[in-house]
Amino acid sequence: MEVKEVKKSEREKLLRELLETTDEELGDEELLHMLISQKLSTAPKDSDKSTFGQRAADSVAQFVGSWAFIFIFIGVLFFWMIANILLATHAFDPYPFILLNLVLSCVAAIQAPLIMMSQNRQEAKDRERAESDYHVNLKSELIVGDLHMKLDSILENQKKLQQELNDIRKDLDKIN
C-alpha cells in the first residue's frame, strides 16, 4: 500500500510540474484531465527573430557544408595554380604559392567562427526541441500509467464480480 502511495505522490508531483499549477488543490483525476487537455508540444521558434549576423552565419555554414562549395573551391584552387604556373615569370603568386596559402588561412579563419556560431544556434534549437519532447513523453507516460492503473482496477472489480456471481450460483444450486 505504501508503494502505491509513493508512486501516487510522485505522479501527482510530475502532473503539477507539467501543468505548473501548484496553487490549486486538485485531485489526481482533475490534474490528469487538465494535463490531457493541455498541449505540451511546441513548434520551433521563428527564425524571424534572428539577427543579420546569425542569418549570415547560417547561410555561410549551409553553403560551406555543400558539395557545390567543395567543387567550386577545388576549381578556384586549380585555376589559381595553373594560371600561376603558365604565367611563369609574370605570375602574381609563383610556385610555392605563398599568397594562396595566406588566402586559404584567411578563409579558414573566417569560416570557423561562422560555422561555430551556426552550430551553437542549431544546438540551442535542438535543446528546446529535446525539452519539448521530454515533456510530451512524460505526459504520455503519465497518461498510459493512469490508464494501466484504471485497467487493473477494472480487472480487479471484474474478478470480484465473477467471484460473487459464482457464489450466487453455488447458493442457487444448493437451494435447487
pLDDT tens for the chain, 176 residues long, are 444 555 666 666 666 666 665 455 666 677 677 777 777 666 666 555 888 988 888 898 899 989 999 999 999 999 999 999 999 889 999 889 999 999 999 999 999 999 999 999 999 989 999 988 988 888 888 888 889 989 999 999 999 999 999 999 999 988 87
Q: Would you say residue 29 lies in a domain?
A: no
Q: What is the pLDDT of residue 100?
A: 94
The type of residue at 59 is S
Q: Would you say residue 31 lies in a domain?
A: no
Continuous H helices in the chain: 2-19, 28-37, 52-64, 67-87, 98-175
Q: 136 — alpha (psi -120 to 50), left (phi > 0) or beta?
A: alpha
Q: What is the pLDDT of residue 165?
A: 95
Q: Would you say residue 4 lies in a domain?
A: no
Is residue 54 within 8 A of residue 119, CB to CB? The reply is no
Q: Would you say residue 9 lies in a domain?
A: no
Q: Would you say residue 21 lies in a domain?
A: no
Q: d(Cα 32, Cα 141) in Å, to the nearest integer?
A: 12
Q: Would you say residue 136 lies in a domain?
A: yes
Q: What is the pLDDT of residue 3?
A: 46
Q: Would you say residue 152 lies in a domain?
A: yes
Q: Please give the tally of structural domains in the chain.
A: 1
Provide Rg for the chain, Cα atoms.
34
Q: Would you say residue 155 lies in a domain?
A: yes
Quote the domain boundaries for residue 91: 39-43+50-175
| Exposure of 25 in the CB half-sphere (CA atoms within 13 A) | 0
- SS3 assignment, position 90: helix
103 to each of 80, 89, 156, how far by Cα in Å? 11, 21, 77
pTM (2 d.p.): 0.59
The type of residue at 85 is I
